[in-house]
Structure 1
Amino acid sequence: MIEQVLNEMITYFKNDTRRINHALKVYGFATTLSGLEKLSEAEKEITQYAAILHDIGIKEAERKYNSSAGCYQEIEGPPIAESILKNLGIDQPTIERICFLIGNHHSYNKIDGLDFQILVEADFLVNIFEDNLEQKSIDDIGRKCFKTKTGIGMLHSIYS
């Protein structure tokens, strides 16, 4: 099923290579983090689906609000993700959790589980590189936003 969700994301973002690659990179880190942090198979699946679709609302945010700001992505992403996941036959409780993660992935004060924490860390591991952040900003993000042992280790291995 992961492959179908990946394909739906790629189809949705067609010709937007930057966003497709961003989602693939976040998915890669989320998959690695969720495995090394010993999430259950169900939690890994939720984390992977959320990682693939976490920015799915960005096109609609840009269309409606002329902005890709996180607050607009959080509004527009869940309905699009829900439609994709329902069409693929994903069960409703799983869809609800994925949509919660997508609808809050820029709201770090709402982190309520390891799946959410891993999604945030995976997104930061990619965004730090894509946004070419300076070391002070990286250190601040590490202190404030990274909680898992594996995520902290990856952050230091990649960016220290």
Structure 2
Amino acid sequence: MSPLNDPREALRRALQYDAGDPKRIQHLIKVYAFAEMIADGEHLHDGQRRVLLTAAALHDIGIHNAQLHYGSSAGKYQELEGPPVVRQLLADWPKDFVEEVCDLVARHHTYTGVDRLTLRILMEADFLVNAYEEGLSEEAVQAGKEKLFTTATGKHLLQMLYAV
């Protein structure tokens, strides 16, 4: 596979962009790993898988700019600030592929109007990691399960991690 459209190359670029920020790097690697597990379990075809994993590597890439411009890393600001950084980091990649990735990055905290499996998987993978990192209560994890999880693989991982 060419480095262009290779999610591992996007992961390398994300690591370089977030160099010196181990919290962000640890987070994106965990989300990437869970997204890959869910994608495999849900049998995504190669094109969907590449878009999903690239978005997983870059899903929170707008956090630094959100903090700079808004003084907050809230999801709505990440969604605004992420796509321009994605376009910058993947400027040498095919534009239509990059725009698919940007769409996932721009919507990964908006839990309504989820219209594709790749977005759903990204949200599930991010929740699996955030639930642990944020120390969510059992009730909050259960609410997340009911509101967000639709894939069999994501539900299975949630059950394994949090026994809900």
TMscore range, shorter length: over 0.9
Indicate yes or no: 2:126 matched with 1:123.
yes
Please list, as runs of the form range in 1=range in 2, the aligned pairs for 1:6-155 lying within 5 A after superposition: 6-87=11-92, 90-155=93-158
Provide the rounded CA distance (Å) in 1 between the counterparts of 2:111 and 2:97: 21
Cα distance in structure 1, aligned partners of 2:149 and 2:8: 28
Deviations 1:107-129 (A, max 9, x none): 11131111000000000000000
Do the aligned partners of 1:104 and 1:110 also contact (CA within 8 Å) in 2?
no
Instruction: Return the letter of the residue paired with 1:125.
Output: L
Aligned-partner SS, 1:132: coil
Q: Hey, what's the Cα distance between the residues in 2 that align with 1:110 and 1:84? A: 27
Q: Secondary structure at the match of 1:93?
A: helix
SS in 1 for 2:112: helix
How many residues are aligned here? Answer: 158
Shift of 1:92: 1.5
1:2 CA displacement: 2.5
TM-score normalised by L of structure 2: 0.94
Structure 2 SS opposite 1:14: coil
Partner amino acid for 1:76?
Answer: E
Where does structure 1 differ by over 6 angstroms across 4 or more consecutive aligned residues? none
Aligned equivalents of 1:110 and 1:91: distance in 2?
Answer: 26
CA distance in 2, matches of 1:32, 1:117: 13
CA–CA distance in structure 1, aligned partners of residues 46 and 7 of structure 2: 13
Deviations 1:91-114 (A, max 9, x none): 122111110000111111131111
User: What residue ranges of structure 1 are gaps of 5+ in the alignment?
Assistant: none
Q: Tell me the secondary structure at the aligned position of residue 110 of structure 1.
A: coil
Q: What's the offset of the Cα at 1:57? A: 0.2
Residue 35 of structure 1: how far off its partner (Å): 1.0
Q: Using structure 1 for the length normalisation, give the TM-score.
A: 0.96
Q: CA RMSD in A?
A: 0.8
Is the Cα–Cα contact under 8 Å of residues 81 and 99 in structure 1 kept in the other structure? yes
Tell me the CA shift for residue 3 of structure 1. Answer: 2.6
